[in-house]
Structure 1
Amino acid sequence: MLSRAGVNAVRCGAMVSRASQARNYATLKEVETRLKSIKNIEKITKTMKIVASTRLNKAERANVTAKKFDQADSAFYKNAETKPLEEAENATKDSELVVAVSSDKGLCGSIHSSLAKRVRLHLAESPNADVVAVGDKMRTQLMRTHPNNVKIGINGIGKEAPTFQLSSAIADTLLELGARNYPKITIYYNDPVSSLSFEAATKDVFSPEAIESSPSFSKFEIDTDANVPEDLFEYTLSNKLLAALAEGYAAEISARRNAMDNASKNAGDMINKYSILYNRTRQAVITNELVDIITGASSLG
Structure 2
Amino acid sequence: MFRQAAIIAVKQSYPANVRQFATLREIEMRLKSIKNIKKITKTMMIVASTRLSKAARTKVTTSEFSKPERSFYEITEAEKSPLAKDGKSLIIAITSDKGLCGSIHSSMAKKVRLLLKEDTTADIITIGDKIKQQVQRTHPENVKLGFNGVGKVDPNFLETSLISAEILKYINESPETYNKISVYFNDPITSISFEASNDPVYSEATVGEAPGLCKYEITQDLNIPKDLFEYALNTKILAAMGKGYAAEISARRNAMDNASKNAGDMINKYSILYNRTRQAVITNELVDIITGASSLD
TM range, smaller chain: 0.7 to 0.9
CA separation of 1:294 and 1:109: change in aligned 2, threshold 3 A? same
Tell me the TM-score normalized by structure 2. Answer: 0.88
Matched with 2:151 is: 158
Distance 1:78 1:162 in 2: 27
Equivalent AA in structure 2 for residue 71 of structure 1? K
Deviations 1:69-123 (A, max 9, x none): 222321233233333522431x35xx11110111111111111111111111111
The aligned counterpart of 2:261 is: 265
Distance of 2:273 and 2:253 partners within structure 1: 30
Structure 1 residue aligned with 2:181: 185
The letter of the residue matching 1:120 is R
Question: How far apart in 1 are the matches of 2:84 and 2:216?
Answer: 25
Number of equivalences: 275
Determine the structure 1 residue equivalent to 2:64. 68
| 1:254 alignment partner in structure 2 | 250
Provide the C-alpha distance between the structure 1 equivalents of 2:39 and 2:80, rounded to a whole number of angstroms. Answer: 52
1:47 is aligned with what amino acid?
A: T
What RMSD over aligned residues (CA atoms) do the two structures have, in Å?
A: 1.8
Indicate if the aligned counterparts of 1:25 and 1:285 stay in contact, CA closer than 8 A.
Answer: no
SS of the residue aligned with 1:153?
strand
Q: If you compute each CA radius of gyration, which structure gives the higher value, 1 or 2?
A: 1
Match of 1:234 among 221, 230, 254: 230
Partner of 1:11 in structure 2?
A: none
Distance 1:187 1:168 in 2: 15
Q: What is the match of residue 128 of structure 1?
A: 121
Counterpart pick for 2:28 among 25, 29, 32 = 32
Looking at structure 1, the residues matched to 22 and 117 of structure 2 have their Cα atoms a distance apart, in angstroms, of 55
Percentage of pairs with the same residue: 60
Using the TM superposition, give the Cα deviation of residue 221 of structure 1 relative to its aligned residue in structure 2, in angstroms.
Answer: 4.6
Would the aligned equivalents of 2:69 and 2:232 in 1 still touch at CA under 8 Å? yes
- 2:142 is aligned to 149
Aligned residue in 2 for 1:118: 111
| Aligned with 1:167 (options 160, 165, 189) | 160
For 1:209, the equivalent position in structure 2 comes to 205
Say if 2:48 and 2:252, in contact at 8 Å, map to a contact too. yes
Equivalents in 2 of 1:160, 1:208: separation in Å? 32
CA deviation map 1:16-63 (0-9, x unaligned): xxxxxxxx9970010000000000000000001011111221111100
Paired with 2:80 and 2:129, the residues of 1 have a C-alpha distance of: 31
Classify the secondary structure of the residue corresponding to 1:107: coil
| Pairwise CA distance, 1:220 | 3.8
Gaps spanning 5+ residues in structure 2: where? 1-19
Q: Which amino acid aligns with 1:130?
A: D
- In 2, are the aligned partners of 1:191 and 1:248 still within 8 Å (CA)? yes
- Distance apart, 1:216 and its partner CA: 4.0
The CA distance in 1 between the partners of 2:207 and 2:31, in whole Å, is 63
Question: Hey, what does 1:224 align to over in structure 2?
Answer: 220
